[in-house]
C-alpha cells in the first residue's frame, strides 16, 4: 500500500481535479477505501475516513452528486478487523468516522438516491460470519492504538443520529455488527426520507415500510433480544415527518388547487395506513419469542400477589407501551380493531359442528383435525387475497394486552368465554403447521383473555357457553393449552398455566373433562402432561362443585383463587356430593389400563426416569383416592409392580427405591395396616 500521506493527498486532489468526472471520483474513493481497509493500520484507516468526511462536508455539491454511492463502501469498515466488539464503541474512531460520513451524506446527498441506497443495503444486510473466539483479531491491535478518551457524543435529543448509547450492552459479534449497520442505515433512511420533496410521499414511505418489514421479518431470530428492533421501528414511526410537496409546483387549469388538495388528502391517508401497519407489525414480530406475561399479571392480581418481572422485561414492556401510545397517536381505534379480530375469529369457528352431528369415529377424527387447521387455512387464504394495507392482527391482539399492562383495565369490558376460546385457537393453532405463526407474546395475551372471561362472567353463563361450544373446539383448546404449557420452562408460569387448565376443566361438561384427561394419559407425548393430568384428576375427583357456581358474583372466585382453591371443597359431609369428576367403575378401569401401560414402560430395560416418576404419581394418587377407587384394581396394580420389581437387576434397583416404598404403602392401606 502507498504511504497514507500520499494516498490522502491523492484523495484530496481527486476531489479537486475529478469534479467533472464523478464516476471516476467514486471509483477512486472505492479503490482507496478497499486498499486501506485491507492493508492499513487503525490510525491510517481513521485518518482516511476523517479526511473523506471533511471532503464531503467541504464539497457539498460533490457530496450531493456522489454521496448515495458511498454507503456500501463505508459499511465495509465496520468489521471485526476494525472494531473490537468487547470494548466500548465510543472509543473507536473508525466507527465514529463512518457515522459522520453517513451523516454528511444524509445532509448533502441527493435524498431520493440516498433513500434507495439505504433501503437496498438494509434489505440485503447479512448476518456476519464472525467467530466468537477471535482473541488475536486486528481489532485488538487497533483498539490499543485508539485514543483513550471518549468523544463527547449525543444524548442531546432523541433523534440524534450519533447517539450510540444503544450499543452499551455487548452482544455476540455477529449480532453486534448487524445491529451497528442496521442502526446507521435506519438513521440514514429516516434522514433521507425527510429531505425528499414530493407530492406523492406514500410511494417512498411504502417502499421504506416494505424494507423495514422485510428486515424485521428476516432478522427477528438473529437478535438475542428484541429491544433493538423494537427501538428502531418505534423511533422511525415516531420521528416520521411527511416530506413536503415540491415548492415549485405549478397550479393551473390542468392541476387546480382542489386537485392538489385531494392528492394531499389521499396521500395523508395512505401514509397513515402505512405507519399504522408498520406500528402493529413492528411490535408483533420482534417480540414473538418473548412472553409478555399479560396472563401472569392478571393471575397475580387475582391472587393479590405482587407482579414482578426482571429489568429486561420491564424495559421491553415499556417499549411495548410506547408502541401502544403511538398507535393511539395514529388514531388507531384499538378497541374497534380488536372487536374486528373477534368477529373474524367467530367467522372461522362458528360453523364447527357439535359432536352430535358427527356420525362415526372416522368423521370425528376428521373434525378434530379440521379444528386444528381452520385458522391456518384462513390465514393462508387471507394472505393470498389481502389487498388492503391493514393492521397486523397479531399486533392488535398485543395492543389489547398492553392496554391491560398499561392501564390495569381490560380493553373491552365484556369478553365471553366463547370469544376467548376462539381467539386463543385462532392465534395459536397456525403455529402447529408453520412456525412463522408462532408468537409466545400473543399466546400470553390470549391466555389473559381466557382468564378474564372465566373470572368476570357469571359462572353459570360460562358453563352454559362451554356446554354449547363444539366439543371439538373445547378439546382442541385444552390440548393446545396443555401442549404449550408442557414446554414452558419457567416453573411459576407453568403452574399458572396448569391452574388455568384445571379451572377450565371445572367449567366444561364433566364428560369432556374426563375424556380429555384420559386422552392425555393415553396419548400425550409429554410425561409432564400425563403427570399433570393425573394431579388434575385427583383434584377434580375429590372436590365437589360449589353451591355458588351459579352465583353471578365473581368476586368470591377471586377470593378462592387467592387461596389457591380452584373452586369447590374437599370432604363434603352432605349426602348429595357432586364431584367435578365422578369416578365410576368404567372410568377407574380406563385409568387403570393407562397405569398398566405405564407399569410396562417403567420396567423395560431402557426405562426413562420420567416414566418411573409417572408411575410414582399413579401410586401416590391411588393412595389418596383409595377410598373411592376399586380395591381389586388397586390390588392388581400392587401385584403387577411387585412382580416386576422382583425382576429388576440389582444395579438398576436404586432408581426404583421410591416405587418400592410407595407400592408397600399402597399395599399397607389395602390390607388395612394403615
* Residue 311 touching another protein (CB under 8 A): no
Given 3, 136, 149, 241, the residue binding another protein (CB under 8 A): 241
Calpha distance 267→276 (Å, rounded):
14
Closest C-alpha to 443, from 434, 430, 456, 455: 430
Given 20, 132, 331, 649, the residue binding another protein (CB under 8 A): 331
Which range binds another protein by CB under 8 A, 270-278, 379-387, 556-564, 648-656?
270-278
* Residue 272 touching another protein (CB under 8 A): yes
Q: How far apart are the first and last CA of the chain?
A: 92
Which range binds another protein by CB under 8 A, 17-25, 307-315, 324-332, 380-388?
324-332
Taking the alpha carbons of 415, 283, 391, 376 in that order, is the dihedral positive or negative? negative
Given 259, 328, 363, 487, the residue binding another protein (CB under 8 A): 328
Nearer to another protein, 242 or 393 (CB): 242
Give least dist CB 445 to another protein, A: 18
Alpha helices of 220-333 — where are they, by DSSP H? 227-239, 257-284, 294-302, 311-329
Tell how far CA 410 is from the center of its chain: 21
Closest C-alpha to 94, from 148, 55, 38, 37: 37
Residues 6+ positions from 310 with CB-CB distance below 8 Å: none
Calpha distance 326→388 (Å, rounded):
21
Nearer to another protein, 329 or 639 (CB): 329
Nearer to another protein, 35 or 335 (CB): 335
Kindly report the three-state secondary structure assignment for every residue of 618-654. HHHHHHHCCCCCCHHHHHHHHHHHHHHHHCCCHHHHH
* Beta carbons within 10 angstroms of residue 289's beta carbon: 14
As given in the structure block, the three cell numbers for residue 596 are 398398566
Binders in 376-435 for another protein, by CB under 8 A:
407
Taking the alpha carbons of 627, 631, 636, 639 in that order, is the dihedral positive or negative? positive
Q: 290 vs 124, 471, 512, 625, CA distance in Å?
A: 26, 31, 32, 40
Nearer to another protein, 230 or 513 (CB): 230
The cell 416404598 sits on which residue? 661
Given 335, 355, 368, 549, the residue binding another protein (CB under 8 A): 335
Give least dist CB 268 to another protein, A: 5
Nearer to another protein, 275 or 476 (CB): 275
Nearer to another protein, 159 or 597 (CB): 159
As given in the structure block, the three cell numbers for residue 510 are 364433566
Which range binds another protein by CB under 8 A, 9-17, 27-35, 320-328, 553-561?
320-328
- What would the x/- binding string for another protein be over residues 156 to 195, using CB under 8 A? -xx-------------------------------------
Nearer to another protein, 222 or 325 (CB): 325
* Residue 86 touching another protein (CB under 8 A): no
Which H or E run contains 452? helix 440-456
Give least dist CB 411 to another protein, A: 8
Calpha distance 668→10 (Å, rounded):
97
Which range binds another protein by CB under 8 A, 176-184, 329-337, 507-515, 586-594?
329-337
Which range binds another protein by CB under 8 A, 129-137, 173-181, 300-308, 318-326?
318-326
Q: What stretches of 301-382 adopt beta strand conformation (E)?
A: none
Given 21, 34, 140, 265, the residue binding another protein (CB under 8 A): 265
Q: What stretches of 475-593 adopt beta strand conformation (E)?
A: none
Q: 177 vs 15, 184, 223, 419, 446, CA distance in Å?
A: 30, 11, 11, 44, 36
Number of residues near another protein (by CB under 8 A): 22
Q: What stretches of 481-541 adopt beta strand conformation (E)?
A: none
* Residue 329 touching another protein (CB under 8 A): yes
DSSP lists the bridge partners of residue 579 as: 544
* Residue 297 touching another protein (CB under 8 A): no
Given 116, 166, 321, 389, the residue binding another protein (CB under 8 A): 321
Helices 585-602, 510-523: crossing angle, 10 deg rounding: 20
Q: 89 vs 68, 146, 225, 443, 648, CA distance in Å?
A: 25, 11, 19, 37, 62
Which range binds another protein by CB under 8 A, 10-18, 87-95, 263-271, 537-545?
263-271
Which range binds another protein by CB under 8 A, 53-61, 71-79, 181-189, 321-329?
321-329
Nearer to another protein, 231 or 484 (CB): 231
* Residue 21 touching another protein (CB under 8 A): no
Torsion over CA of 278, 280, 285 and 291, rounded to 10 degrees? 150
* Residue 242 touching another protein (CB under 8 A): yes
Give least dist CB 67 to another protein, A: 26
Given 82, 208, 271, 502, the residue binding another protein (CB under 8 A): 271
Nearer to another protein, 317 or 581 (CB): 317
As given in the structure block, the three cell numbers for residue 243 are 416530506
The cell 380429555 sits on which residue? 516
Given 330, 389, 590, 645, the residue binding another protein (CB under 8 A): 330
Given 91, 325, 582, 644, the residue binding another protein (CB under 8 A): 325
Given 18, 322, 463, 530, the residue binding another protein (CB under 8 A): 322
Binding site for another protein (CB under 8 A): 157-158, 238, 241-242, 265, 268-269, 271-272, 275, 318, 321-322, 325, 328-331, 334-335, 407
Amino acid at each position: 500500500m502507498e504511504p497514507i500521506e500520499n494516498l490522502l493527498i491523492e484523495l484530496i486532489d481527486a476531489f479537486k481535479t475529478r469534479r467533472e468526472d464523478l464516476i471516476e471520483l467514486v471509483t477512486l474513493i472505492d479503490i482507496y477505501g478497499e486498499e486501506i481497509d485491507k492493508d492499513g493500520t487503525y490510525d491510517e484507516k481513521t485518518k482516511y475516513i476523517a479526511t473523506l468526511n471533511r471532503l464531503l462536508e467541504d464539497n457539498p455539491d460533490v457530496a450531493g452528486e456522489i454521496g448515495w454511492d458511498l454507503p456500501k463502501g463505508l459499511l465495509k469498515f465496520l468489521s471485526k478487523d476494525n472494531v473490537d466488539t468487547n470494548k466500548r464503541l465510543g472509543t473507536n474512531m473508525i466507527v465514529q468516522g463512518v457515522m459522520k460520513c453517513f451523516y454528511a451524506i444524509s445532509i448533502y446527498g441527493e435524498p431520493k438516491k440516498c433513500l434507495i441506497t439505504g433501503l437496498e443495503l438494509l434489505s440485503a444486510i447479512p448476518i456476519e460470519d464472525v467467530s466468537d473466539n477471535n482473541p488475536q483479531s486486528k481489532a485488538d491491535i487497533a483498539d490499543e492504538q485508539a485514543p483513550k478518551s471518549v468523544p463527547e457524543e449525543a444524548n442531546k435529543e432523541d433523534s440524534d443520529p450519533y447517539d450510540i448509547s444503544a450499543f452499551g450492552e455487548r452482544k455476540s459479534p455477529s449480532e453486534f455488527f448487524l445491529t451497528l449497520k442496521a442502526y446507521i442505515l435506519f438513521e440514514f433512511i429516516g434522514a433521507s426520507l425527510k429531505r425528499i420533496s414530493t407530492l406523492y410521499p406514500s410511494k417512498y414511505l411504502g417502499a421504506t415500510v416494505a424494507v423495514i418489514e422485510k428486515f424485521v421479518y428476516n432478522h427477528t431470530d438473529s437478535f438475542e433480544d428484541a429491544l433493538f428492533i423494537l427501538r428502531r421501528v418505534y423511533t422511525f414511526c415516531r420521528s416520521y415527518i411527511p416530506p413536503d410537496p415540491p415548492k415549485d409546483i405549478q397550479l393551473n387549469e390542468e392541476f387546480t388547487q382542489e386537485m392538489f388538495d385531494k392528492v394531499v388528502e389521499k396521500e395523508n391517508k395512505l401514509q397513515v395506513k402505512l405507519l399504522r401497519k408498520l406500528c402493529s407489525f413492528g411490535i408483533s414480530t420482534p417480540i414473538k419469542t418473548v412472553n409478555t406475561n399479560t396472563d401472569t399479571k392478571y393471575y397475580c392480581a387475582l391472587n393479590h400477589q405482587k407482579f414482578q418481572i426482571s429489568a429486561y422485561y420491564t424495559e421491553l414492556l415499556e417499549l411495548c407501551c410506547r408502541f401502544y401510545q403511538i398507535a393511539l397517536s395514529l388514531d388507531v381505534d384499538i378497541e374497534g380493531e380488536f372487536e374486528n379480530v373477534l368477529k373474524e375469529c367467530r367467522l372461522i369457528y362458528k360453523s364447527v359442528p357439535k359432536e352430535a352431528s358427527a356420525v362415526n369415529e372416522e368423521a370425528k377424527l376428521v373434525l378434530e383435525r379440521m379444528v386444528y387447521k381452520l385458522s391456518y387455512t384462513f390465514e393462508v387464504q387471507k394472505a393470498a387475497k389481502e389487498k388492503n394495507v391493514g393492521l397486523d392482527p397479531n399486533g392488535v391482539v398485543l395492543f389489547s394486552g398492553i392496554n391491560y399492562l398499561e392501564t390495569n383495565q381490560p380493553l373491552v369490558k365484556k369478553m365471553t368465554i366463547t370469544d376467548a376460546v376462539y381467539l386463543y385457537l385462532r392465534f395459536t393453532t397456525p403455529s402447529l403447521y408453520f412456525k412463522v405463526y408462532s408468537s409466545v407474546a400473543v399466546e400470553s395475551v390470549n391466555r389473559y383473555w381466557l382468564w378474564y372471561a372465566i373470572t368476570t362472567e357469571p359462572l353459570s353463563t360460562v358453563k352454559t357457553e362451554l356446554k354449547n361450544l363444539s366439543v371439538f373446539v373445547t378439546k382442541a383448546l385444552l390440548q393446545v393449552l396443555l401442549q404449550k404449557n408442557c414446554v414452558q420452562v419457567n416453573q411459576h408460569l407453568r403452574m399458572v398455566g396448569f391452574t388455568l387448565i384445571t379451572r377450565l376443566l371445572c367449567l366444561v361438561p364433566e364428560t369432556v373433562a374426563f375424556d380429555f384427561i384420559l386422552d392425555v394419559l393415553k396419548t400425550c407425548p409429554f410425561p409432564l402432561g400425563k403427570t399433570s393430568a393425573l394431579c388434575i384428576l385427583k383434584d377434580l375427583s375429590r372436590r365437589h362443585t360449589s353451591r355458588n357456581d351459579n352465583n353471578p358474583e365473581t368476586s368470591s372466585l377471586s377470593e378462592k383463587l387467592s387461596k389457591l382453591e380452584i373452586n369447590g371443597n374437599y370432604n363434603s359431609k352432605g349426602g348429595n356430593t357432586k364431584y367435578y369428576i365422578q369416578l365410576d367403575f368404567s372410568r377407574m378401569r380406563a385409568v387403570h389400563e393407562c397405569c398398566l401401560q405405564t407399569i410396562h414402560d417403567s420396567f423395560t430395560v431402557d426405562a426413562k426416569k420420567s416414566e418411573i416418576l409417572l408411575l410414582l404419581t399413579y401410586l401416590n394418587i391411588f393412595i389418596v383416592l383409595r377410598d373411592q377407587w376399586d380395591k381389586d384394581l388397586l390390588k392388581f396394580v400392587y401385584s403387577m409392580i411387585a412382580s416386576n420389581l422382583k425382576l429388576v437387576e440389582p444395579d438398576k434397583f436404586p432408581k426404583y427405591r421410591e416405587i418400592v416404598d410407595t407400592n408397600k404403602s399402597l399395599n399397607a392401606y389395602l390390607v388395612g395396616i394403615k
